[in-house]
Structure 1
Amino acid sequence: MKKIVSLFGEESDVFTSLNEKARAYAASLSLEYVWTPMIPFQESAAIEALKDADAGIIDIDPYGESIFKEIADRTKLLVRFGVGFDKVDLAAASRFGIAVCRTAGANTLGVAEMALTLILTTRRMIATNQKCVASGQWTKNVAHETIGSTLGIVGFGAIGQAVADLLKGFNCKILAYDPYLNEAAMRAKGVKPTTLEELFTTADAISLHLPYTTETHNLIGRKLLERMKPSSIIVNTSRGNIIDEEALYEVLASNKIAGAGLDVFGVEPLPLSSPLLSLENIVMTPHVSSQTHESLWRIYELAIDIASDFFAGREPKHLLNPEYRAR
């Protein structure tokens, strides 16, 4: 029986329950499943856990040659719990004959819902108003409605499209920027394709849905942020380093834009010294867009299905490094 070791999740009632369910599901597919919580991540502990596994389910932590060379004798598959894979050295994994997959699509609805939540929360100044109530100030802050507004989506993949679908119920005009999609395909989804500059100039709310790459590092910098209207807001549920946080702080602190909603940051956990924490026109959450019971189970289920297909000799879904076969 092939053995899966999952390093994802913290020791809590929620994750204990999910992993019991995952263990039962794996058993139904004739797979052994072991959960070894790995928070905080330690490379030596990860090696110890994975070297006795045929497959591993891993978090967002860095995985490179120093790990692969220790586990490759037995471990032939790693499944990234989530979508981003910028911290996994795919070339090194291929050199050691380790296939790497991701659970793309399983968290789409959860992340899209979180993006919508941050848009609504930021547009209606919920955080500011909560602080007013807590401090005894019954201030009537005047906010903006999302209904009938113009939404800009940067990155129109599965999550960006799901956000657009959710916002259609708000009768929004939706602009989208994605250099990898043709305009006809975007129009077929009911959005108007546009340039990045025009999107930042026009939109009342901007939602980012990009992978983190060398090309997208600090893509959203001072020049784009200063194009935004004073009444507009920006939301990021993708990767922190896509936004230049120093420039974002400056436009928020000077009220050049109305607000921001962030679930991701350049450094996580966000340092207590971050100037972002001093702002009142920002909503922040600790990278929890996919942390719903429903999304988490879809991810566990897909990760186990990927392992089942792989060990049955079938092509696994969402394979990131087909070059692993050349070893």
Structure 2
Amino acid sequence: MTQAVFMMDQHILSDVYSDEAIQQITSMIEVYDTVITKDNINDHLPLLQDVSIIFSGWGAPVFSAEVLDYLPQLTAIFYAAGSVKQIMSRDLLKGITVSTANTINARPVAEFTLSQILFSLKNGFRLQQSLRETKQFSNGIMLDIKGIYNQTIGIIGFSTIGKMVCEHLQNFDVDLIVYDPYLAPEMLSAYSATPVDLDTLFQTADVISLHAPLLPSTVKMIKREHFKQMKEHATFINTARGAIIDEAALIDVMGKRPDLTSLLDVTDPEPPETTSALYTLPNVLLTPHIAGSVGQEKFRLGQAMVDEFMRYQANEPLLYRLDIDTFDRQA
């Protein structure tokens, strides 16, 4: 009797679930012999009546009401990736345990963000460009560099990633300010951070890092007036989603304010059109969506779901269970 099945892009599976992880799974539960994908799901659904566990990840088929009707024994889904909103709805999750690797995938994003914050405060991006163009080297002690000490970091969105960035920054002598409309101010006390409104954050921060979820209410939440208010020589970092900002406004302001810097790991569309000024503006630096789990980091996602399944089997508390109550506010 088949009790578990992999449902995801077959070509990605081996990048997320290591051989060791798959061996752990097959030693605990019988697994269907075919990976279910978007392309073959209709051929296999009638054979999955006994499946109680789904292991999934990027490229998974949509878990629609029709699909779930073929899975009457389903009790749990272990999703080795971030948000599940693209493949399942809140109402369909009732009665099913869903755990995701969203928190695990947040770790490399927070680490990447920290690196960008620190490097920008050392003026590393501008100095690298200048050295390449002028081949004139000056000792950093003599240069006009902000440095990290006593600088103000603005975090937009006290999400899982935003919170992790704040945790990392506890090791540095910086001032933290945070904007999040859903945040209770007392939640920031452990981080020595100050809640502020969005305008104040843009006016005050030396580095601004965006970590809000992409929701209908946050589309183009960051507008022209926000970018225009940025401090002299401030840096804006986006590792969230490109659609949260007014990209045309950012391009316009960056063109008029060469003192500012934007570090964009995400854009809208992604990638940008080949004619986009994002490629040519000297104070805009693009990276191709590398903040999240890449390379060996992806195996951490699959292993987290294997470990979560072991807790599920042992009736132990789950670490990464999806919170249905906050589903609508999640990315």
Question: If the length of structure 2 is used for normalisation, what is the TM-score?
Answer: 0.77
Q: Which residue of 2 aligns with 1:138?
A: 135
* 1:150 Cα deviation after fit: 0.5
CA positional deviation for 1:153: 0.9
Indicate the residue corresponding to 2:15 in structure 1. 15
Residues 266 and 35 of structure 1, relative CA distance in 2, 3 Å threshold? farther
1:106 is the counterpart of 2:104: yes
State the one-letter code of the partner of 2:304: L
**Aligned partners of 2:8 and 2:59 also within 8 Å:** no
| Aligned residue type for 1:138 | K
- For 1:280-319, list aligned pairs within 5 A: 280-292=282-294, 295-307=297-309, 317-319=320-322
CA separation of 1:246 and 1:138: change in aligned 2, threshold 3 A: same
Deviations 1:37-86 (A, max 9, x none): 97xxxx43566688757414132778364xx5246413835444333334
Aligned residue number for residue 44 of structure 1: 39
Residues 102, 138 of structure 1: alpha-carbon distance in 2 compared, 3 angstrom cutoff: same
Counterpart AA for 1:172: V
Q: 1:69 — aligned with what?
A: 66
**Alpha-carbon offset, residue 127 of structure 1:** 4.3
Alignment of 1:121-160 (within 5 A): 121-132=119-130, 137-139=134-136, 143-160=145-162
> Against the structure 1 CA distance between its residues 171 and 5, is the aligned structure 2 distance closer, same or farther, given a 3 Å change threshold?
same
Q: State whether residues 258 and 283 of structure 2, in contact with CA within 8 Å, keep that contact through their aligned partners in structure 1.
A: no
- Give me the whole-angstrom Cα distance separating, in 2, the residues matched to 1:47 and 1:232: 52
User: In structure 2, what is the Cα distance between the partners aligned to 1:230 and 1:271?
Assistant: 29
Amino acid at match of 1:231: H
Is 1:238 matched up with 2:240? Answer: yes
- List alignment gaps of at least 5 residues for structure 2: 138-142, 326-331
Segment drifting more, 199-208 vs 78-87:
78-87
Match of 1:184 in 2: 186
Q: Which amino acid aligns with 1:228?
A: M
Following superposition, the deviation at residue 308 of structure 1 comes to 5.0
- Distance, in Å, in 2 between the alignment partners of 1:198 and 1:293 is 38
- Structure 2 counterpart of 1:120: 118
Q: CA deviation at 1:235?
A: 0.9
The 5-angstrom pairing of residues 79-98 of structure 1 reads 79-91=78-90, 93-94=92-93
CA RMSD of the aligned region, Å? 3.6
In structure 1, list runs of 5 or more residues that go unmatched.
Answer: 323-327
The structure with the largest alpha-carbon Rg is 2
C-alpha deviation, 1:29, in angstroms = 3.3
- Quote the Cα distance in structure 1 between the aligned partners of 2:44 and 2:305: 18
Gap change, CA 1:150 and 1:274, over 3 Å in 2: same
Structure 2 residue identity aligned to 1:27: T
- Give the fraction of aligned pairs with identical amino acids, expressed as a percent: 24
CA distance in structure 2 between the aligned counterparts of 1:171 and 1:48, rounded to whole angstroms: 58
State the partner residue of 1:325.
none
Q: 1:269 to 1:47 in 2, by over 3 A?
A: farther
If the length of structure 1 is used for normalisation, what is the TM-score?
A: 0.78
Q: How many matched pairs?
A: 312
Q: 1:289 to 1:30 in 2, by over 3 A?
A: same
Aligned match of 1:214: 216
